[in-house]
Structure 1
Amino acid sequence: MAITPKFKNLNGTDFYKELKLRVNNYFVETNKKTTGNFALYLKAILFWVLYVALYVHLIFFTPPNWIALLECLVMGGITAGIGFNVMHDGGHGSFSGSAFWNKIAAFSVNGLGASMLMWMNKHNIIHHTYTNIDGMDDDIEIKPLLRLCESQKKYKVHRFQHIYVWFLYTLLLLAWVSYTDFTKYFKQKVGEIPIKKFSKFDHFAFWAAKVFYFFIMVALPIYKVGFLPWLVGFLVLAMFAGLVLSVVFQLAHTVEETTFPVPVGKNNNEIENEWAIHQLATTANFATKNKLICWLVGGLNFQVEHHLFPKISHIHYPAISKIIKSTCEEFNVKYIEFKKMRHALLSHSLHLRKMGRA
């Protein structure tokens, strides 16, 4: 069993106490809830209506090939959009003030092929606690295909990882729904960290979601349009969704400016910073002034804000980012941000190149 690291100053320094106080005061003074609003609910409905409409048109009306390919591409983008805007907020309990609607939003990812139960363990519990810690954070465990930090073993092929990585990213959704969920399920672990024991309902929900997805996205389409048209369309959808999902999440943590802390101490189980400082050192924002990107990726270009306050809906990130940034300046804590998305992409590519050659 893996030894989980401990953070120093578990109760937080004055920095995090002050930051939480200021952010809380913002919601009190503006009389706003920390959860989503009507605009978010409307976007969620829009994404799902478009997704279902495109699916029905593709399967039951069979448009010309070029239109079908375009629609599959759009469906791939919407798949990522639902993950960013609906599932992600729902999974963190920030989509709505209602626990019921949060569960509905969270478990919408099951309709896209992934398991919310596995996501909650991998993302909410492990990634948000042990961000960028090799051996703990499953998001940087892409070994041996990629080397994302210095503590990971380097192979000759990594010299070219900044080139072939973009193809690997397209495979994320395919691997997620058909492989990694199952390996975690049967091992009952995320990496080396045991997950909470599943109830009978959890087991049922896992398998029911998988059967539903493979019927809707594999069996029925093959029956209606044939194997080859389905295969091409499904790959276009899944690979584009995988690329978008991978890029957005990787730009948040694997860039030149972020760190990959190594546990220290007698048992190699201590992190030198407190949790909040650790999150700021391992997380980066990008293109926060670009309203279209903010809308499409569900505020996940504000990853600093999300990691510090995961239970606050992404619709509030632009406002609280000003509070966080000013507090960081006051306490002399580094706040990592790229003004343009292309700057973050370049930094990510350069980081991969460095890790492949250093």
Structure 2
Amino acid sequence: MTQPQLTRVTFTKNFGFRKELNKRVDAYFKSENIATRDNPAMYLKTFIIAAWVISAWTFTLFGPPQIWLKVIGCIVLGFGIAAVGFSVGHDANHGGYSSKKWVNNVLGSTYDVIGLSSYLWRYRHNFLHHTFTNILGHDVEIHGDGLVRMTPYMEHKWYHSFQHIFILSIYTVIPIYWSFADIHIILFKRKYHSHVVPTPKPLDMLILFGGKVIWLALFIGVPIAVGYNPIQVLVGFLITYMTYGFWICIVFMLAHVMDTAEFIQPDGKLEEIDDEWAIFQVRTTVDFAPNNHFLNWYLGGLNYQVIHHLFPHVCHIHYPKIAPILAELCEEYGVKYNVCPTFTAALVSNFRWLKYLGTTPNAEYKAPALVNN
């Protein structure tokens, strides 16, 4: 995918933060004599997740007939699909899984198989979200189609007053919404806000629509073919994808929609941000639960979201080792590195922020003073 030039938002400062960070991280990999990608631990993790999803799908369809076991199977499958999204597909679509482009492309297409266009995701997430993090009108992932107010710069609607109450139910339908919105975007709308989606190649279109067919065949067609009635299939599909949606949306929220993250809008018609891009990423993003070994494994490094935004092409297996390097540099430069110590603390921060924005129509946000250097 050819990405457009960054003409809409510019970052006016260069303190040398990014250059020094890259230098120290490169020195770490060199001193340890390890590669940033193609990691054996990641290969093993991919095998485990693939076995998880395949076995859960097989057990649910062909296992014992008891309904309660089918329900458990659907839930376990939903968490497995989320693991594909967190770890395998995410790294691959960022080019962080392997140094071989074809490997990243093949594994990145797992998104298409679970219902999400990898082509559109790379544009919406890799380019818009990672470049314009938490900037309303550019970062599609904090817009929420106006249903949820995630930034104080969004216009307040009456229903936002209840968003901290209904938000969890919204999470459950997001993946299904994305799956069908992909088709509308690629065939009709062709843009996110003012950003035009690059014209897809025939292969991109084949993967997008072929992925939809495989996805529907696996989760709708095959179950009906082996004897389940349409109502049973629909219920099983909803349990699976609502589980998946609930979890992935919570994890995303804990990275950016927090009362400790910053929401920055460009100044003036030139849309300039008076900071260095790398520091801007640290200010608008939050890490959480860095000492939770299970989450470190299961979330694919997304609880190290600050590290991920600065090094998306590095396999997430390495994020825990990069974090202390970033923390040290942030202290030297006077940049606040936001880390919630636990998953629970991150949840509280997220819900506190959503409630504040929902119940305070004229909510104002004043960012901390910029780094002095």
Asked if these proteins are the same fold (TM beyond 0.5), I'd say yes
Q: Does 2:263 correspond to 1:226? A: no
Corresponding residue number in structure 1 for 2:370: none
**1:268: Cα distance to partner?**
4.5
Corresponding residue number in structure 2 for 1:182: 183
**1:183: Cα distance to partner?**
2.5
Alignment gaps of 5+ in structure 2: 1-5, 361-373
Q: Does 2:7 correspond to 1:6? A: no
CA deviations on 1:37-70 (whole Å, 9 max, x unpaired) are 1121111112112212222232244631111100
- Contact 1:121–1:190 at 8 Å: present in 2 too? no
Corresponding residue number in structure 1 for 2:199: 197
- Of residues 253, 260, 273, the one that matches 1:257 is 260
Corresponding residue number in structure 2 for 1:248: 251
- Contact 1:36–1:315 at 8 Å: present in 2 too? no
Whole-Å Cα distance in 1 between the matches of residues 184 and 350 of structure 2? 28
- Of residues 155, 166, 169, the one that matches 2:168 is 166
Q: Which is further off, 312-321 or 225-234?
A: 225-234
* Count of matched residue pairs: 354
Whole-Å Cα distance in 1 between the matches of residues 47 and 254 of structure 2? 27
**1:274: Cα distance to partner?**
1.5
Corresponding residue number in structure 2 for 1:57: 59
The within-5 A match list for 1:1-358 is 4-9=8-13, 12-61=14-63, 63-178=65-180, 180-186=181-187, 187-223=189-225, 224-265=227-268, 267-358=269-360
**1:158: Cα distance to partner?**
0.9
TM-score where L is the length of structure 1: 0.95
Whole-Å Cα distance in 2 between the matches of residues 152 and 21 of structure 1? 38
TM-score where L is the length of structure 2: 0.92
- The percentage of counterpart residues that share the same residue type is 34
**1:204: Cα distance to partner?**
1.7
Alignment gaps of 5+ in structure 1: none
Whole-Å Cα distance in 1 between the matches of residues 251 and 282 of structure 2? 17
SS in 1 for 2:109: helix
**1:154: Cα distance to partner?**
0.7
Whole-Å Cα distance in 2 between the matches of residues 16 and 102 of structure 1? 26
**1:220: Cα distance to partner?**
2.3
Whole-Å Cα distance in 2 between the matches of residues 22 and 169 of structure 1? 38
**1:143: Cα distance to partner?**
3.3
Whole-Å Cα distance in 1 between the matches of residues 325 and 123 of structure 2? 30
Q: Which is further off, 192-201 or 110-119?
A: 192-201
Whole-Å Cα distance in 2 between the matches of residues 13 and 105 of structure 1? 37
Deviation beyond 6 Å, 4+ runs, structure 1: none
- Contact 2:94–2:313 at 8 Å: present in 1 too? yes
The letter of the residue matching 2:123 is N
**1:219: Cα distance to partner?**
2.3
CA deviations on 1:243-267 (whole Å, 9 max, x unpaired) are 11001111100000111111113x1
- Contact 1:62–1:225 at 8 Å: present in 2 too? no
SS in 2 for 1:315: helix
Whole-Å Cα distance in 1 between the matches of residues 62 and 192 of structure 2? 39
